[in-house]
Amino acid sequence: MVTLGAVDLERNLIRYLGTGSFTPEVIASAQGSYVTTESGRRLLDFTSGQMSAILGHSHPDVVATVREQVGALDHLFSGMLSRPVLELAERLAASLPDPLEKVQLLTTGAESNEAALRLAKLVTGGHEVVAFSGSWHGMTGAAAGATYSAGRKGYGPAAPGNIAIPTPNAYRPDVVDADGELDWARQLDLAFAMVDAQSTGALAACIVEPILSSGGIIEPPPGYLAALQRKCRERGMLLVLDEAQTGLCRTGTWYAFERDGVVPDIITLSKTLGAGLPLAAVVTSAEVEAAAHERGFLFLTTHASDPLVAAVGTTVLDVLERDRLDVRAAQLGARLGAGLRALAEEHEVVGDVRGRGLLQGLELVVDRATKQGSDVLGAEVTRRCYELGLHMNVVQLKGMSGVFRIAPPLTATDAEVDEGLVILDQALRDAGKAVL
């Protein structure tokens, strides 16, 4: 058993993780699928950093681009344009279906969602925003107003016009059919009946993740997003899809919305676009952009259109295309999913396995029949994984033991995925004995 050093990591830092805590060791370096602590321990990273490093840590192509670009052009006044920005905008537009073609480059997912919601409000003339009850869109202004999975209590009132609708959670259904399964169509009808009852007639947008991550890796059923889009069309709302974690091949297709045959009015990208560096984008149609421009659209940040990270974004797209990482994510995701389902057969504390490609979730319970959770169990499995050399991220929401968000890099090997599954198997075995 590894004994973790008693380092005072919190002496000069604001503790910004809510009820969570910092990882108990200082990280010295990272390469590929592993991070290495100052003590020399290697940890298999099943979170891809902050769910962002889709090419693994310190990918050689990204490193080369940064070294070259930082010596030529790194940062500019936000009204100045550079060749890397123009190239990345063109490449992003080419990767998306019509009519998505107008791009703004920013730094974080929260920023891109702020820009998307400002676009929607300006173009529609409304201010009301609908989002899932399990959503996470960021911790700034409008993004935080549309975030319901955590972080709402104690900060005073949110801006008026934020409306939550139920998350379509097939494992924990709230509206069921005769067989006890989630009746998502009726749930959606009821949800928008409540939206209509609360609206002042100023609906602007509905913003959702194609797979809710912080909400517990919840994947809306096939057909749901198309039905949601119809609800938006009927009310003159814009549909915004937040693909911070699902975009750029992670789910086995370039964009998660491809499965559902819908094209959003606005898509936001972040995390995966920079492969670990701070880069985000909001993409919309020429029609929406023209209407916003006519009304004086303003969303200016210090690092909008920075050339350094834009060059990295193009490199990321190059690697994804060259190495066919959409196909690789689907193949490796199938291997990961099969391994997780095998663990579910072995361990009674595994209540559900879900997700797509290399964004998968494993929900823990102490009773499969009642689906009762235990925060102690989730925390113990996380701790034991870390001791054994696997970094995992567990989402702990009220009433759940936790859902492990499992997101290895798209560049991971079969052997690395298998190694993570072996460690998780041992951690589940050990934690079950300790807690149950």
Which residue, 267, 216, 227, is CA-closest to 243?
267
**Largest distance between two CA atoms of the chain:** 64
245, 265, 289, 352: the catalytic one is 245
245 flagged as catalytic = yes
Cβ 113 vs Cβ 146: under 8 Å = yes
Burial (CB < 10 A; 0-12, 13-18, 19+), residue 190, is: middle
The catalytically annotated residue of 111, 219, 242, 363 is: 242
Instruction: Please report which helix (H) or strand (E) contains residue 364, including its range.
Output: strand 359-364
271 catalytically annotated: yes
Of the listed 25, 45, 111, 209, which one is catalytic? 209
Q: Which one from 271, 328, 354, 383 is the annotated catalytic residue?
A: 271
Closest Cα to residue 149, out of 351, 399, 389? 399
Residue 405 designated active-site: yes
State the Cα–Cα distance between residues 249 and 326, nearest whole angstrom. Answer: 4
Give the integer Cα–Cα distance in Å for 62 and 141: 32
Q: Which residues have C-beta within 8 Å of that of residue 296, sequence separation ≥ 6?
A: none
Distance CA 192, CA 281 (A): 29
- The gap from C-alpha 146 to its chain's centroid, in whole angstroms, comes to 15
Concerning whether 242 is annotated as a catalytic residue, the answer is yes
> Which of 69, 405, 416, 430 is labelled catalytic?
405
Q: How far apart are CA 53 and CA 45, in angstroms?
A: 10
SS3 of 407, please? coil
- Residue 254 bears catalytic tag: no
Catalytic residue selected from 25, 111, 118, 136: 136
Contacts of 403 (CB under 8 A, 6+ apart): 216, 217, 361, 362, 363, 364, 394, 395, 397
Long-range contacts, stretch 346-353, CB < 8 angstroms, 24+ apart: 346/425, 346/428, 347/425, 347/428, 347/429, 347/432, 348/432, 349/377, 349/401, 349/428, 349/431, 349/432, 349/436, 350/428, 351/171, 352/171
Contact 26, 41 (CB under 8 A): no
Nearest to 435 by CA among 380, 359, 385, 365: 380
| Catalytic residue numbers, as ranges | 136, 209, 242, 245, 271, 405
